[in-house]
Amino acid sequence: MAQSFKYIIVGGGVSAGYAAREFVNQGVKPGELAIISEEAVAPYERPALSKAYLFPESPARLPGFHTCVGSGGERLLPEWYNEKGIQLLLNTEIVKADLAGKLLTSAKGENFNYQTLVIATGSTVIRLTDFGVEGADAKNIFYLREVDDADKLYESIKAKKNGKAVVVGGGYIGLEISAVLKLNDVDVTMVYPEPWCMPRLFTSEIAAFYEGYYANKGVNIVKGTVAVGFTTNSDGEVKEVKLKDGRVLEADIVVVGVGGRPQISLFKGQVEEEKGGIKTDPFFKTNVPDVYAVGDVATFPLKLYNEVRRVEHVDHARKSAEQAVKAIIAAETGKTIEEYDYLPYFYSRSFDLSWQFYGDNVGDTVLFGDNNPASSKPKFGTYWIKDGKLIGAFLEGGTPDENKAIAKVARVLPAVEDVSQLAKEGLSFASKI
């Protein structure tokens, strides 16, 4: 016998929690909604895993960071779902999806019928074993995607007190994990193939600040090469990391952060795809009736720049989930809602640093402020200018009001007539918009 629900959210990450809250706001009735998740816990704010979860003092733990606490909302504890009559089906992996028949099948052979489906399966981490890297299945090589991963890494950090760690990757995960490992008195070396860290977002000037700051904190940085193999000790634990340039690094712990890929294989051949994700309209509706896709898996129209994009970030995971639910209820009641009008937003926190970025990072750049990594309170930023308009803004060390100002300036797309004047004005340009 299949269990039947009016609405099913498949995936139990950030999007699922925010979608559930919006369904409740929209008046969903008890028994109408189910969330099906492979994880053992209710939806939580995933960014906590690479930051506060690994702190040596007072680390974050569930239930402290269940959704929707990350955006200042109520924390949705497992009891909340019970009180609202939402079925939280945890430890349940969906292995087959029949979109035409509106049927999902789990690894245990359970069947679930739905009237409307929200695909919120998120991304999976790219593993070195996927590329056949020698020794990549050794013990103490970690990836960070779920609480379970963070627990194992935390235990290893405690077990390898004052040990050596190699962090493979120079993006978000690489930078945040390197900082938190250093806070745990671990000897850290970061390795990445690009000429500077966070190359998808940072300019070489922005990256130079963070690389300098990390070096001052004692983090070793090895650029322009990749890990091509691992050796192990007699217990099968990682002992060394072999690099393509011939160097060999000692390691008690390896953390890999080389990106993710959207989990859409369940729906292959059944739904239209674009740019590596599931193609949706501005309401996150796919080309299949009554099927919506949100968060990392959705390729959607980015109204601000008149193009389609797929965005992997917690902010979009939250907002796209809310938009889809509003659209689902509006369609049922014959109402209309505004199209999704998203301003790309990224942020990170590590050591005493905190940056925010809004908009698009294409075109010419203007650097302003104090970007000396040795400064006691560095504060600097960058604007991106394309076709005579300011389209992106980055700020390190901003106050809440200053961060709001750079968000606004990236949304407004003001004309820039004199780039040298913009460099002189710096933050004050955004503050007067």
* H or E element that contains 105: strand 103-106
| Beta bridge mates, 243 | 227
If we measure between CA atoms, which residue out of 73, 67, 99 comes closest to residue 86?
67
Average pLDDT of the segment spanning 333-362: 97
- How many angstroms separate the CA atoms of 212 and 384, rounded? 23
Calculate mean pLDDT across residues 279-285: 98
The architecture of the domain spanning 128-258 is 3-Layer(bba) Sandwich (3.50)
Which of the four pLDDT bands, split at 50, 70 and 90, describes residue 354?
A: very high
Among residues 198, 171, 314, the alpha carbon closest in space to that of 255 is found at: 171
Residues 6+ apart with CB under 8 A from 97: 10, 103, 104, 105, 266, 267, 270
Strand, helix or coil for residue 401: helix
The mean pLDDT of 123-134, rounded to a whole number, is: 95
Identify the pLDDT of residue 7.
Answer: 98
Residue-wise pLDDT tens digits, 223-277: 999 999 999 999 999 999 999 999 999 999 999 999 999 999 999 999 999 999 9
Distance CA 16, CA 7 (A): 12
Contact (Cβ atoms closer than 8 angstroms) between residue 67 and residue 17:
yes
Model confidence pLDDT, tens digit, residues 135-151: 999 999 999 999 999 99
> Are 360 and 384 contacting, i.e. CB atoms less than 8 angstroms apart?
yes
Average pLDDT over all residues of the chain:
97
Give span(s): CATH 3.50.50.60, the chain. Answer: 3-124+261-333, 128-258
Closest CA to 303 of 287, 276, 323, 322: 323
Tens digits of residue pLDDT in 147-186: 999 999 999 999 998 899 999 999 999 999 999 999 999 9
Cis amide linkage into residue 78, ω under 30° from 0: no
Mean pLDDT score, 63-88: 97
What tokens appear for 374 in the block?
Answer: 């040795």
CATH code of domain 352-431: 3.30.390.30
The pLDDT, as a whole number, for residue 264 is: 98
Long-range contacts of 157-164 (CB under 8 A, 24+ apart): 157/54, 157/181, 157/184, 157/186, 157/253, 160/186, 160/252, 160/253, 161/185, 162/186, 162/187, 163/187, 163/252, 163/253, 164/189, 164/249, 164/250, 164/251, 164/252, 164/253
Taking a C-beta distance cutoff of 8 angstroms, is the pair 255, 167 a contact? Answer: yes
Counting Cα atoms < 13 Å in the Cβ hemisphere of 233 gives 10
Does residue 422 register a pLDDT over 90?
A: yes
- Phi first, then psi, for residue 15 (nearest 5°) are -55, -40
Contact assessment for residue 188 and residue 290, using Cβ atoms and an 8 Å cutoff: no
The DSSP result for 186-241, as a single string, is: -EEEEEESSSSSSTTT--HHHHHHHHHHHHHTT-EEEES--EEEEEE-TTSBEEEE
Please determine, for residue 1, whether its predicted confidence score (pLDDT) is greater than 90. Answer: no
Distance between CA 4 and CA 102 in Å, rounded? 10
Instruction: Check residue 433 and give its pLDDT.
Output: 84
Peptide bond between residue 68 and the one before it cis (omega within 30 degrees of 0): yes
Q: 30 pairs with which residues across the strands?
A: none
DSSP string for 12-24:
-SHHHHHHHHHHH
pLDDT digits (tens, 9 = 90+) for 392-404: 999 999 999 999 9
Rama region for 321: left / alpha / beta (φ>0; ψ in -120 to 50; rest): alpha
* pLDDT at res. 310: 98
Q: Is 216 left (phi over 0), alpha (psi -120 to 50) or beta?
A: alpha
Average pLDDT over residues 303-321: 97
In the chain, ranges of CATH 3.30.390.30 domains: 352-431
Rounded to whole angstroms, how far apart are CA atoms 219 and 276? 34
**What is the fold, at CATH topology level, of the domain defined by 3-124+261-333?**
FAD/NAD(P)-binding domain (3.50.50)
186-199, pLDDT tens digit by residue? 999 999 999 999 99
Single-letter residue type at 228 = V
